Chain A
Amino acid sequence: MRDAARASLRAFGRAAPAAAAVGLLLAFNAAFTPGFFDLTTVEGRLAGSTVDVLNRGAVVVLLALGMAIVIATGGVDLSVGAVMAIAGATAATLAARHGVNAWSAIAAAVAVGAAAGSFNGALVAGAGVQPIVATLVLMVAGRGAAQLLTGGQIVTFNDPVLNFLDAGFIAGAPMPVLIAAAALALSLLLTRGTALGLFIEAAGDNERAARLAGVRVRAVKAAAYVLCGAAAAVAGLLAASDIRAADANNAGLYLELDAILAAVLGGTALRGGRFSLFGAALGALFIQGLTTTLYLHDVSPNATLVVKAAAVLAVCLAASERVRAWIKHRSRP
């Protein structure tokens, strides 16, 4: 029990750089963005820049949670953006074209996401294919499959349940925020409340040692991809609900990169072995916070891309052990 507590404490420690980055961003906004922390209620719904960041960041938070788990097993999932498109297309076509009940459509979309994840898992854990290549297959083909489902069109829907996913709110809080928070709580419970988190770290840190210690490495890896696929499907549902349509071409485009970035920013080592879900969520919120802050300061979205590039590099450099060693070497007289 004490070990588990220590492990989760260490996981929080890993989130420190992401927390610091978010703190810096908040401090900047406190000083230079008037009204950033203002909260108002519009028609019983909380509104304001901070709520906006949480709301828009929810999709990447969901992706980053799954991605952190996959990266911790020593893998990576490039297909999450494509899986988002497939999930959105599944739900939209079922609901809008086939008159399927919205709840069933949502369940089907999540099931399709999990199936995509198990395809990735089978390639990585079963066939032993390098994760970056294995998930590249779905990254390339996935959008094609999504377009196949929608017939190449943007499928619009107007269903109260599907609309509620993005536009709804419970007790003033927007649904995407609640969904992302629930996903964070659930995944924390799953990985830190049980031994699964330990197995994941063991599998990613030293596969052979983990196997010899009795961890079913293949099953753990496959499970990680299934979880990631399901999380991506939920993210895809949110993205579709946001525009009330499934856009197979653009849904989740390049978000796999944001998700990997968020996970790494949150203290998950890209070569596997250790992860922090809390950090991944913070990383995702940092990315969204940065985008929103620049937007509020009238910086063009194009320049935002360049700032993002600088942020990626800064994060990489901060996480690099070689840089740390260099600084340590320098600071010593």
Chain B
Amino acid sequence: MTPRGPGSRPLRRLRVLRVPALLSAQHAPLAATVGVLIALFAACAIAFPGFLSPGVARNLLVGNAVLGLVCVGMTFVIISGGIDLSVGAAIGFSCILVASLVQQGWHPLPAFGVALAIGTAGGAATGALIHRFALPPFLVTLAGMFCYRGCALMVSERSITIRHPFHRTLSEWASGPVPPAVVLFVVVALAGWLVARWTRFGRDVYALGGGEESARLMGVRVAAVRVRVYAISGLCAALAGVATTLTTGAGNATSGHLYELDAIAAVVIGGTPLAGGAGSILGTVAGVLIFGLIQEAMPHAGVTNSWWFRIAVGGLLLAFVLLQRAVESRGRR
């Protein structure tokens, strides 16, 4: 036990000295995630000849850029102590909206803008509802999920192919050296990491997840933080929808099916506990890559049945949850 005193200088110096210990306790989940990622990659590289090819790395990124985009927003929500079940349906909605607007003669860019604006506004509204009336995020975002999916199917039940020269050019880049979805993912993940790690807003998000009452007492504007967190998640989901139109060249109302589940799983595997107050975007990126790596490794291992993938992800989730639990109870002791 160290003596506590308001603003005592020696204490602060003491804390600096204890940084390594703090690092190891706080970052154990992140270290485990990165460790698993590296071990998994190494194992695949050794076991499967030809795994270390640019093609595989490319698949890894292209195949998971959309999920990764959603995960960045989801990480913010989960760190703040919430959850967002609406992201999968939001992908479907923004995806079909863009396709439908372009079909009606819009230029893709303003169509993207409309989709992103609606996603952000929807997220902000969700956050406002959750905060203003102290509603459970689980149920409010569930309503959001029903709403988005219903609206998406009302726009069009059938898939709409996007025929616009500008969009086609972007889509063709998807098979080129710099796929736009991957660029989007990398940029958003980097921005998310910077915001979470180095800005006041980022610290406020962690504080809110650590405990709403104490955050408020610390002077965090809880309402604004919560609204922004869900707005970010909505924006990321809308971006994921836009990215989906770029990779598939079409809009489909059922896109993003079960993505909310995959995103939560990837974020938890990435070392962010669902209890909130901890975690990192870097961990989430590692979680998404682990997710993709398992998917990529399965055909190499001769497993073509998709169900083993779900079972493997479930098993990994279980391992990480138990690990987090062990770290938690050790920290408490």
Contacts and interface: CB of A to CB of B under 8 A. Distances in A.
Nearest to A119: B318
A45 B231 CA distance: 52
Interface in A120-145: 123, 127-130, 132-134, 136-145
A136 B265 contact: yes
B140 A316 contact: yes
Q: Does more than half of chain B's interface fall in helix, strand or loop, or is it mixed?
A: helix
Contacts of A130: 273-275
B144 interface: yes
A136 B136 CA distance: 18
Interface string B277-314: 00000000000000000000000000001111111011
Contact of A129 (B142, B265, B321): B321
Interface in B241-270: 261, 264-265, 268
Contact of A148 (B140, B264, B311): B311
A298 interface: no
Interface in A279-318: 300-306, 308-310, 312-313, 315-317
A152 interface: yes
B146 interface: yes
Contact of A322 (B133, B144, B306): B133
B277 to A, nearest CB: 13
A310 B309 CA distance: 35
Interface stretch (B49-57, B149-157, B179-187): B149-157
A261 interface: yes
A322 B317 CA distance: 36
Q: Does more than half of chain A's interface fall in helix, strand or loop, or is it mixed?
A: helix
A321 to B, nearest CB: 7
A264 to B, nearest CB: 7
Contacts, number: 139
Nearest to B144: A309
A198 interface: no
Contacts of B129: 313
Contacts of B307: 143-148, 152, 248
Contacts of B322: 127, 129
A123 B329 CA distance: 14
B142 A312 contact: yes
B305 A147 contact: yes
A313 B143 contact: yes
A321 B264 contact: no
B325 interface: yes
A11 interface: no
A268 to B, nearest CB: 12
A320 interface: yes
A270 interface: yes
Given A127-B325, A128-B325, A144 B314 contact: yes
Interface in B224-245: none
Interface in B154-192: 154, 157
Given A305-B146, A313-B140, A320 B265 contact: no
Contact of A137 (B140, B145, B153, B314): B314
A141 B157 contact: no
Contacts of B144: 309
Contact of B314 (A142, A260, A264, A315): A142
B133 A317 contact: yes
Contacts of A315: 139
Closest A-B pairs by Cβ, 7 of them? A141-B314, A305-B150, A144-B310, A147-B307, A309-B147, A302-B153, A309-B146
Interface of B: 83, 85, 129, 132-136, 138-140, 142-147, 149-151, 153-154, 157, 261, 264-265, 268, 273-275, 305-311, 313-315, 317-318, 321-322, 325, 329
30 contacts: A129-B325, A130-B273, A133-B268, A133-B321, A137-B318, A141-B310, A141-B317, A144-B306, A145-B307, A148-B307, A148-B308, A148-B311, A152-B305, A300-B154, A303-B150, A303-B154, A304-B150, A305-B153, A306-B150, A308-B143, A308-B146, A310-B147, A312-B139, A312-B140, A313-B143, A316-B140, A317-B133, A320-B135, A321-B134, A322-B134
